[in-house]
Structure 1
Amino acid sequence: MSNVLLSMRGVSISFGGLAAVQSVDMDLQEGIVTALAGPNGAGKTTLFNLITGNLPASSGQISLRGKSILGLRPHQIAGMGIARSFQDLRLFTHMTVRDNVLVAIEPSSWLWQPGGRAAQRERMRRVDEALEQTGLAGMADSRAIDLSYAETKFLSLARIIATGSRIWLLDEPASGLDVNSRTRFISLLRDATRRGVTICLIEHNLDVMTEIADRIAFLDRGRKLAEDVPEKVLRDPELISIYFGKSR
């Protein structure tokens, strides 16, 4: 399909005798939110690590816009427009909110990078725009450690927005958010997809998956068992039984 940005075919990796990801085929389409669902240990985060180059696939192919990205280093893949968040957020807690976003714009965030004042102004414009979108503009000079839990989640998203990446890999981005913050967070993701951003997220909250995902890929023990619209996946009694650990 012409709107497929990232394609995975037969992707596998093993750790010793454990097959963590087994022959996974999946496409991430432009402007679509795909949720990775499945019990703990299903291989969801490992799949993210394979896409971003943090782990080398033992077999299979991963292509971005038809070009293989296997063997590339994480910073090279990030530079091609794939941004990622982590469960632990990985913020610089004693730096300001603004600087946390600024350092995410690698490799052009450092003051000694070429481009002069015009490039520096453009970087700051992107940072300010990301903070405005996430409701953090008034906290730009606050330290990350002084933010509330929900605000740190939005700061993590602001870092991704500022990169201008077209593919976002989000690891439980809405976990622990109150209802109002979650609604605002989901709205931000939907706004991004309307601009053509492709999102793949790991999520354990079935309500969030139903609300945000266009498609759900269900994994168990490293295998993709199903991929379809949320209504079909989440109504499959066998998959739900696996999800809640009743038939493993």
Structure 2
Amino acid sequence: MTAPLLICEGLSRSFGGVKAVAGVSLSLTAGMVTALVGPNGAGKTTCFNLITGNLRADAGKAMLRGQSIMGLKPHQVARQGVARSFQDLRLFTHMSVRDNVLAATETSAWFWQPGGAAARRAREAATEEALARTGLTALAEARAMDLAYAERKFLSMARILAARADIWLLDEPASGLDLSSRRRFGELLKEARRQGVAICLIEHNLDVVTELADRIAFLDQGKVLAEGEPEAILRDPKLAAIYFGDREDAA
């Protein structure tokens, strides 16, 4: 068995009296897609925020390649090879598509980047490759704000591709996509999995989960209720009742 790239143990976070995440343990392995599934408010996005440093955990730990990343800031976690997408995309809307992607390859906040001309050419090559893989080459000079919704989704994915991270945390990446776009998205993830990327996605479309996920972690009220292969998890009547809001049937 390949050792997991990322191991989380006992992650917890409360907001006032609400336990948003309560002792979540999770591992992400190279070449595998893990889906976080559960009803709204289950704590899925909060888990991502704890891993990436957008929120501080009250308890627990996150180990990346055997080293703790707890307490690191989001940009520091990103530079360790953890790429993340958001439900609201968070693009630089007034910048061009190409510049949005190029920005994801830069390793410093300074206008001038380290590494000289060779490093600049490598960043530009990564940008052009990401644009090609997401079908955005022809739109490279367009402003992000002028893209259609699906194109913005793929721009978000292009930024992740260009960063060449080996762990992807994707928050509802297929939401709002038509069938053709979902298929393109699925091919991107399958190719990344073949290349050894560890992927974790939050997704409410169970067809997408069934097609792409190797395993599922089912969350409810901040806790992992079950983990396993998609078929077993999605066929569990108690979990289905929780997911669709019928908690009396789940009792």
Q: Give the TM-score category using the shorter length.
A: over 0.9
Count of residue correspondences: 248
Report the equivalent of 2:32. 32
SS at match of 1:217: strand
Report the equivalent of 1:181. 181
Cα-to-partner distance string for 1:54-94 (whole Å, 9 max, x where unaligned): 11111111101111111111111111000100011011112
Please identify, of 97-106 and 194-203, the stretch whose mean Cα deviation from structure 2 is larger. Answer: 97-106
1:17 partnered with 2:13: no
Cα deviation, residue 120, structure 1: 1.2
Cα deviation, residue 111, structure 1: 4.8
Contact 1:21-1:221 at 8 Å conserved across structures = yes
SS at match of 2:158: helix
1:128 partnered with 2:128: yes
1:8 partnered with 2:13: no
Report the equivalent of 2:113. 113
The separation in 1 between residues aligned to 2:151 and 2:183, in whole angstroms, is 14
SS at match of 2:190: helix
Contact 2:2-2:30 at 8 Å conserved across structures = no
Q: How does 1:142-161 map to 2 (within 5 A)?
A: 142-161=142-161
The separation in 2 between residues aligned to 1:36 and 1:244, in whole angstroms, is 15
Report the equivalent of 2:237. 237
Cα deviation, residue 109, structure 1: 7.8
Report the equivalent of 1:100. 100
Q: How does 1:190-205 map to 2 (within 5 A)?
A: 190-205=190-205
Please identify, of 114-123 and 66-75, the stretch whose mean Cα deviation from structure 2 is larger. Answer: 114-123
TM-score by length of 2: 0.96
Percent identity, aligned pairs only?
65
Cα deviation, residue 110, structure 1: 5.6
Contact 2:106-2:123 at 8 Å conserved across structures = no
The separation in 2 between residues aligned to 1:108 and 1:10, in whole angstroms, is 32
TM-score by length of 1: 0.97
The residue type paired with residue 140 of structure 1 is A
The residue type paired with residue 77 of structure 2 is I
The residue type paired with residue 44 of structure 1 is K
Contact 1:43-1:220 at 8 Å conserved across structures = yes
SS at match of 1:103: helix
The separation in 2 between residues aligned to 1:77 and 1:152, in whole angstroms, is 24
Cα-to-partner distance string for 1:191-225 (whole Å, 9 max, x where unaligned): 00100001000000111110111111000000000
SS at match of 1:104: helix
Contact 1:85-1:169 at 8 Å conserved across structures = yes
Q: How does 1:189-228 map to 2 (within 5 A)?
A: 189-228=189-228
The separation in 1 between residues aligned to 2:108 and 2:132, in whole angstroms, is 21
**Structure 1: 5+ residue stretches without partners:** none
Contact 2:106-2:113 at 8 Å conserved across structures = no
Q: Which runs of 4+ in 1 moved over 4 A?
A: 108-111
Cα-to-partner distance string for 1:6-63 (whole Å, 9 max, x where unaligned): 0011111111111111111111111100000000000000000000011111111110
The residue type paired with residue 146 of structure 1 is D
Cα-to-partner distance string for 1:165-204 (whole Å, 9 max, x where unaligned): 0000000000011101100101101100100001000000
Report the equivalent of 1:50. 50
The separation in 2 between residues aligned to 1:210 and 1:100, in whole angstroms, is 31
Contact 1:103-1:109 at 8 Å conserved across structures = no
Cα deviation, residue 108, structure 1: 4.6
